[in-house]
């Protein structure tokens, strides 16, 4: 399943990389592509991943996760 995470606080490529790195640590996440221009992250999962786990990873990177929607 794929998800779109709406975030707050992404300002540059380094911010994107930080969020992507944390999301890739979540079991079942195959790819994460953050975009600071839109403050969104596209996440591709190979298995079941709880939206709360994705939000927690964004928060662990130091950013605010506003919502997680199925893509």
What is this structure's pTM?
0.95
pLDDT of residue 47: 86
DSSP class per residue in 10-59: --SHHHHHHHHHHHHTSTTEEEEEEETTTTEEEEEESS---HHHHHHHHH
Condensed to tens digits (0 to 9), the pLDDT of residues 16-47 reads 999 999 999 999 999 999 999 999 999 999 98
Helix (H, G, I), strand (E, B) or coil at 7: strand
% of residues, the chain, pLDDT over 90: 94
Helix (H) or strand (E) holding 6: strand 2-8
Q: Would you state the pLDDT for residue 6?
A: 98
Residue 52 scores a pLDDT above 90 = yes
3-state secondary structure of 9: coil
Q: Are 49 and 29 in contact (CB under 8 A)?
A: yes
């Amino acid at each position: 399943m794929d998800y779109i995470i709406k975030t707050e606080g992404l300002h540059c490529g380094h911010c994107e990389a930080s969020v992507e790195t944390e999301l890739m640590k979540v079991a079942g996440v195959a790819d994460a592509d953050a975009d600071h221009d839109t403050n969104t992250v596209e996440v591709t999962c190979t298995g079941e991943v709880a939206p709360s786990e994705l939000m927690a990873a964004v928060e662990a990177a130091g950013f605010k996760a506003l919502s997680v929607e199925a893509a």
